[in-house]
Amino acid sequence: MSTKRTVVTGGHVVTMDPSQGELPNGAVLIEDGAITAVAADAEQFAGVDAEIVDATGGIVLPGMVDSHRHTWMALLRAISADQSLLQFLGNTFYGIGSLLSAEDMAAATEVGSLEALDSGITTFLDCCDCVNSPEHARASVAALRSSGARTVYAYGMQAFDYKPAAFASHAERLRDARALRSSEFTSDDPMNAMAMLLSDFGTLPFSDTAAEIRLSTELDILVASHTGAATTSILLRGLRELHDHQLLRPGHLHIHCPALSTPEWRLLADTGAKVSIAPETELQMGMGFPPFRAAIEHGILPGISTDTVACGSGDLFAQMRLGLQTQRALDNDRVHRTGTMPGTVELSVHDALTWATRGSAEAMGLGDRIGSLTVGKRADVIVVKPRWNVVPPSHMAGTVVLQSSAADVDTVIVDGEMRKRDGRLVGVDLAGVRSRATAALERLRTKAAALPTHDANACLGWFAHAERMATANFGAAYPVER
């Protein structure tokens, strides 16, 4: 059997491997989907029998990793651009989510997956918290697999008012998650894995949340949750209650987290938790400031994520830039409060790039496979070529983090397979994708026209009621003995 070889050469290689650093004239050798050599001098691979990817004028990087992405909302671009978290939940998330069919799910997942690839994201956690039926889950998984991206499908336990209802109970939803695991994720597939996205803490009886976590442990899959995403609120908290029942497990991926207190951060650190931060939605929707500093101070390497294009950008360049500069501003403000000016910038662009590569890979439990250009890891490689190329960059990582966008991504390789070349997706019928997506969006718009619109006061009232329910649900973690 012949070996398939590819050499990425001619560019400035940013390995994201601390032992190798940056290689201004480096090259990467790929064989049968794996990285088999990284050279400091591209001449080392001269004459090798391989397909050549010319990265001249570009920056060679590991594929970026998005540790929290809702592809099911990929059709709803910017629909929530001016919405708070409460308005988003009341009008968009639960409203339009209750209308999404399995056919719509397939179209949305296809669009979201290809958008990720186009922007240099080679791996993402698909937080599918709109599993309205078993067919929805299977449509999503099929679309993820056909995209060519490396994905972890997170089966969501959140329930919508979908009609006719496909699940008669929470237990039925758990049974379907078990069935999906046994039918669709039976092998050690390096490209596709399964996870569970827990129901939002406090919205269901504590025993139901416990059942979700225990099932994820039994199925041996990643468990993720939206945690501490509403500053000042009891909703999405409950970490003490979970810890008291041994339900905070190593590797649990907590998403957002701006509302967490110092004791709660200590619980995450002590239990081996992971964290994914989504700067754009957190800042817009009133969740709180992205908690990069809190994670770092508690010894947790954060991952970073796009969340949803219903609100913000679908590429990680925007999230790195916004997250890094926001945390720098907060750090500077600490110094200003002492009556002086900052003398240094502590967090670097390399830190931000780490969040989007190794940080997110480790957050998803994939740090041994992806996240850096390291020999033995899977060959997920991208080339960024700045469109404004009249003068070479002076700082390569700075150019990627602070001055790039999806439009600058020239080449995307996933597991050794070419997915984007010369700035265009490979083997994708974009006209067909556009047709399916537009048809699905028109179906949703027609059905959504009959939905009521909840004003700010109504959303506040609904949220207050949910908080009271959360108080009761968390309290049920401690039954009164008589």
Per DSSP, the residues of 374-427 read -TTSB--EEEE--S--SS--S-HHHHHHHH--GGGEEEEEETTEEEEETTEESS
Q: Is 430 exposed, middle or buried (0-12, 13-18, 19+ CB in 10 A)?
A: exposed
Output the pLDDT for position 480. 72
What residues contact residue 59 under an 8 Å CB cut-off, 6+ apart?
11, 12, 13, 14, 383, 384, 385, 393, 396, 399, 400
Start-end ranges of CATH 3.20.20.140 in the chain? 64-363
Sign of torsion over alpha carbons 280, 282, 284, 288: negative
3-state secondary structure of 461: helix
- The secondary structure of the chain in percent helix, strand, coil, rounded to multiples of 5, reads 40, 20, 40
Q: Is 403 exposed, middle or buried (0-12, 13-18, 19+ CB in 10 A)?
A: middle
Residue in this structure with the two tokens 């991952």, named with its chain if needed = 303
- Phi, psi dihedral angles at 267 (to 5 degrees): -60, -45
The 150-156 sheet, strands edge to edge:
64-69, 121-128, 150-156, 192-197, 222-227, 253-256, 274-277, 303-304
**Rounded average pLDDT over 171-187:** 96
pLDDT, tens digit (0-9, with 9 covering 90-100), for 74-125: 999 999 999 999 999 999 999 999 999 999 999 999 999 999 999 999 999 9
pLDDT at 1 over 60: no
Binned at pLDDT 50, 70 and 90, residue 26 comes out as very high
Output the pLDDT for position 479. 86
- Tokens (6 digits) for 449: 């026209």
Domain 5-62+373-425, classified CATH 2.30.40.10, yes or no:
yes
3-state secondary structure of 212: helix
pLDDT at 170 over 60: yes
Q: How far apart are CA 8 and CA 97, in angstroms?
A: 42
Question: Residue type at 324?
Answer: L
Which one, of 451, 478, 400, 457, lies nearest residue 161 by Cα?
Answer: 451
pLDDT, tens digit (0-9, with 9 covering 90-100), for 263-311: 999 999 999 999 999 999 999 999 999 999 999 999 999 999 999 999 9
Q: How far apart are CA 42 and CA 40, in angstroms?
A: 6
Per-residue CA distances from 458 to 66, 174, 235, 452, 453 (Å) = 34, 32, 18, 11, 9
Homologous superfamily of the 64-363 domain (CATH) = Metal-dependent hydrolases (3.20.20.140)
Start-end ranges of CATH 2.30.40.10 in the chain? 5-62+373-425
Output the pLDDT for position 216. 98
Q: 3: which DSSP letter?
A: P
Binned at pLDDT 50, 70 and 90, residue 481 comes out as low
Sign of torsion over alpha carbons 226, 440, 175, 193: negative
Output the pLDDT for position 482. 52
Binned at pLDDT 50, 70 and 90, residue 187 comes out as confident
**Rounded average pLDDT over 239-244:** 97
- Phi, psi dihedral angles at 34 (to 5 degrees): -125, 155
